[in-house]
Amino acid sequence: MEPLKIDKTDDTPQVILDVDNEFFEIAGRSLPEDVNTFYEPVLRWIEEYAHNPAQKTVFNFKLTYFNTASSKVILDILTMFEEMIEEGHDVLVKWFYLEDDEDMQEAGMEYSEMIRIPFEIISY
């Protein structure tokens, strides 16, 4: 599978989805003007990846801010991972937050309670 790499901007996160290097990450601020257009290739890539994933998928979220529209897409991504687990695949989500960012820590905790996925919440 070809890697998907999207450079970050002031309003959109960096996205790296790379099977060969086993690196999967969304990092930065997520408040795109058109959330569907921005995340469509990401969702399509993950959907295709789910058909033949790596032995273990470790997905990093390192978001410093996301808007309401992005929160729905994050839930969609996590739901896709939940389906992968139900099909017997090994998935771990690592939710990173800045040490003093209680809002992002709480968001990670809320997602971890909504979805049945192994979840690590990590401050940095």
pLDDT averaged over every residue in the chain: 97
What is the SS3 string spanning 46-65? HHHHCCCCCCEEEEEEEEEE
Structure token pair of residue 34 = 């058109």
Q: What is the pTM of this model?
A: 0.96
Ramachandran bin of 28, using left for φ above 0, alpha for ψ from -120 to 50, beta for the remaining angles: left
Mean pLDDT of 8-21: 97
21-32 tens-digit pLDDT: 999 999 999 999
Instruction: Give the 3-state secondary structure percentages of the chain, helix then strand then coil, rounded to 5.
Output: 40, 30, 30
Q: How far apart are CA 87 and CA 29, in angstroms?
A: 31
Residues whose CB is less than 8 angstroms from the CB of residue 47 and which lie 6 or more positions away in sequence, other chains included: 80
Mean pLDDT of 102-119: 97
Q: How far apart are CA 67 and CA 116, in angstroms?
A: 23
